[in-house]
């Protein structure tokens, strides 16, 4: 469909053009949201067309197909030289690992822009920054050159810093700075890892595939362990993993709703994506040496995140901690080094992106209409906002892994692969399934059910606005769709993961 058209670059450029237009609107800042919606929708539509054109059973001769010869096989492949003397090229392409996250990015960006429809504070900067964020995340998910990858990786931080710092809650300065510095330190570890791989490979190329190929013979075991540790730290902080997670609750609590949606829905996925795209395939011996560390951290994240949720008073903070718990499943799936585990981990990223977006949006709705998110001050809101409470209930149920909704397949498969690798240690992470149900239902009981609260003035509380219910409804429909038909997504992930495990020596 896209023969001879650099479609990936076009999709990355669209939001960038939109951002520049939005920034330069001058006095006409009420059109910013229309500009943002237009450009993000265009990117969304094009990315959906890309999915349609993406070949599940690749025809190896077709244009834009790039055979990895052991590395990942890419489609819609584009390659341009940039800084030749250093071997830096602009390479983009999609495979089964990235395509789900790619579409998730365009989808969530569009939806969060729609959700922020009534932003009144500096709209042109706000929507412009959202688009810049989309550009950065899209770049991370498509770039196949470490240098450009790192550039995009860092670009993402800047709009998020401003989104938290300008449009955030009462403690926004603290949260924004903490977010930036914490994740930036992690990025430095990543940079060190990239540089180490570049020089050790000696291929005078930053291309992921070139470095991987050279690394097959050049990377010694101790080198791999050290560099994997650095890269794992760099990606893991973003994931986030316990104990390097504390930037996340603060950033979420203070960020505006759409910022939280993108933060949890996309930025966390960058960490999970990096581990599976970069760290594990390129440094397999390092990964193998640190397998137990990965698993221990994953289980700690799952259980600890769930337990801390139980004690939260702020609805949004609870959802933030639940992200830690659920992203632990991603890491646990990876750590098994099995086909089932890794595929389920990738799927869990996609599922979590959809579900957590709903949850943060519902927190935003509660905040917007009731003026508070403290669970103890809420209560009985079902009476006042039936649609909101229904959507919140479905969202919570999806997040606690109810079958028929999207997370179930992922969590079940991760746990199955966990048993495959570590047998009865299975009983540690599986406890979290009950704790998760407990904290969600308890929160639901105290905020939505029971008699109407008297601690806040509820006389003006009304149900959701259209720009709130349409995005949430759309996401819920997708959650149910992919819950019933997970194969729709798995058919892309599964072959790509097979390649990861071939890299691993059989898996």
Residues that bind other proteins (CB under 8 A): 178, 181-182, 242-243, 245-247, 304, 307-312, 338-340, 343-344, 380, 382-383, 397, 402-404, 408-409, 412-413, 415-416, 419-420, 426-427, 430-431, 433-435, 437-438, 441-442, 444-445, 448-452, 485-487, 490-491, 494, 497-498
Q: What tokens does 490 get?
A: 């798995």
- Could you give the dihedral angle defined by the CA atoms of residues 29, 27, 138 and 467, in that order, rounded to the nearest 10 degrees? 0
The residue (of 92 and 237) whose beta carbon lies closer to other proteins is 237
- On whether the CB atoms of residues 471 and 117 are closer than 8 A, the answer is no
Q: How far apart are CA 376 and CA 227, in angstroms?
A: 46
The residue (of 230 and 400) whose beta carbon lies closer to other proteins is 400
Q: How far is the CB of 263 from other proteins (least distance, A)?
A: 18
The residue (of 4 and 451) whose beta carbon lies closer to other proteins is 451
The residue (of 333 and 471) whose beta carbon lies closer to other proteins is 333
Q: How far apart are CA 218 and CA 224, in angstroms?
A: 10
Q: What tokens does 132 get?
A: 């810049």
The residue (of 185 and 192) whose beta carbon lies closer to other proteins is 185
Q: How far is the CB of 490 from other proteins (least distance, A)?
A: 6
- On whether the CB atoms of residues 86 and 204 are closer than 8 A, the answer is yes
Q: How far is the CB of 297 from other proteins (least distance, A)?
A: 13
The residue (of 257 and 382) whose beta carbon lies closer to other proteins is 382
Q: What tokens does 482 get?
A: 């992919």
Q: Residue 57 CB: number of other CB atoms within 10 A? A: 6
The residue (of 5 and 426) whose beta carbon lies closer to other proteins is 426
Look up residue 215 and give its DSSP letter: H
Name the β-bridge partners of 419: none
- On whether the CB atoms of residues 172 and 160 are closer than 8 A, the answer is no
Q: How far is the CB of 104 from other proteins (least distance, A)?
A: 19
Q: How far is the CB of 449 from other proteins (least distance, A)?
A: 4
The residue (of 66 and 178) whose beta carbon lies closer to other proteins is 178
Q: How far apart are CA 397 and CA 393, in angstroms?
A: 6
Write out the DSSP string of 394-431: HHHHHHTT-TTSTHHHHHHHHHHHHHHHHGGGGHHHHH
Q: How far is the CB of 231 from other proteins (least distance, A)?
A: 21
Q: How far is the CB of 412 from other proteins (least distance, A)?
A: 7
Q: How far is the CB of 119 from other proteins (least distance, A)?
A: 30
Q: How far apart are CA 202 and CA 183, in angstroms?
A: 29
- Could you give the dihedral angle defined by the CA atoms of residues 205, 207, 208 and 213, in that order, rounded to the nearest 10 degrees? -50
CA distances from 64 to 3, 53, 70, 491 (A): 7, 11, 18, 20
- On whether the CB atoms of residues 384 and 460 are closer than 8 A, the answer is no
The residue (of 219 and 321) whose beta carbon lies closer to other proteins is 321
3 state DSSP class of 5 = coil
Q: How far is the CB of 261 from other proteins (least distance, A)?
A: 23
- On whether the CB atoms of residues 491 and 128 are closer than 8 A, the answer is no
């Amino acid at each position: 469909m896209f023969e001879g058209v650099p479609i990936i670059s076009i999709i990355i450029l669209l939001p960038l053009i939109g951002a520049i237009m939005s920034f330069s609107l001058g006095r006409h800042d009420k059109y910013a949201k229309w500009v943002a919606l237009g450009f993000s929708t265009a990117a969304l539509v094009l990315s959906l067309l890309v999915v349609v054109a993406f070949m599940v059973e690749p025809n190896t001769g077709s244009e834009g197909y790039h055979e990895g010869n052991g590395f990942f096989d890419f489609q819609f492949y584009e390659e341009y030289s940039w800084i030749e003397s250093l071997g830096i090229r602009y390479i983009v392409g999609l495979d089964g690992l990235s395509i789900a996250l790619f579409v998730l990015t365009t989808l969530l960006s569009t939806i969060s822009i729609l959700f922020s429809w009534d932003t009144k504070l500096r709209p042109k900067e706000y929507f412009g920054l959202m688009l810049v964020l989309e550009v950065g995340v899209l770049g991370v998910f498509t770039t196949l050159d470490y240098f450009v990858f790192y550039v995009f990786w860092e670009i993402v931080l800047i709009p998020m810093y401003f989104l938290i710092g300008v449009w955030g809650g009462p403690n926004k300065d603290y949260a924004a700075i903490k977010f930036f510095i914490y994740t930036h330190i992690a990025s430095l570890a990543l940079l060190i890892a990239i540089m180490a791989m570049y020089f050790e490979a000696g291929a005078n190329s930053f291309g992921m595939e070139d470095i991987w190929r050279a690394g097959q013979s050049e990377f010694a075991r101790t080198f791999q362990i050290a560099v994997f540790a650095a890269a794992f730290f760099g990606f893991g902080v973003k994931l986030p993993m316990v104990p390097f997670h504390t930037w996340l609750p603060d950033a979420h609590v203070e960020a505006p709703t759409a910022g939280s949606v993108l933060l949890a829905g996309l930025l966390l996925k960058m960490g999970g994506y990096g581990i599976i795209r970069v760290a594990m395939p390129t440094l397999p011996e390092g990964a193998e040496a640190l397998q137990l560390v990965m698993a221990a951290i994953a289980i700690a994240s799952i259980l600890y995140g769930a337990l801390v949720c139980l004690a939260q008073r702020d609805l949004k903070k609870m959802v933030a901690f639940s992200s830690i718990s659920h992203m632990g499943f991603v890491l646990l799936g990876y750590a098994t080094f099995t086909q089932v585990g890794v595929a389920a981990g990738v799927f869990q990223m996609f599922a979590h992106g959809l579900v957590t977006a709903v949850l943060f949006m519902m927190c935003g709705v509660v905040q917007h209409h009731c003026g508070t998110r403290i669970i103890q001050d809420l209560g009985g809101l079902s009476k006042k906002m039936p649609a909101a409470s229904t959507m919140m209930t479905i969202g919570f149920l999806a997040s606690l892994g109810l079958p028929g909704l999207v997370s179930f397949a992922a969590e079940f498969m991760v746990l199955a692969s966990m048993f495959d690798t570590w047998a009865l240690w299975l009983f540690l992470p599986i406890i979290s399934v009950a704790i998760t149900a407990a904290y969600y239902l308890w929160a639901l009981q105290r905020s939505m059910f029971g008699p109407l609260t008297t601690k806040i003035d509820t006389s003006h509380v009304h149900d959701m606005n259209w720009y709130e219910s349409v995005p949430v409804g759309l996401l819920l429909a997708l959650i149910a769709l992919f819950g019933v038909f997970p194969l729709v997504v798995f058919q892309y992930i599964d072959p790509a993961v097979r390649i990861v495990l071939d890299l691993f020596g059989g898996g």
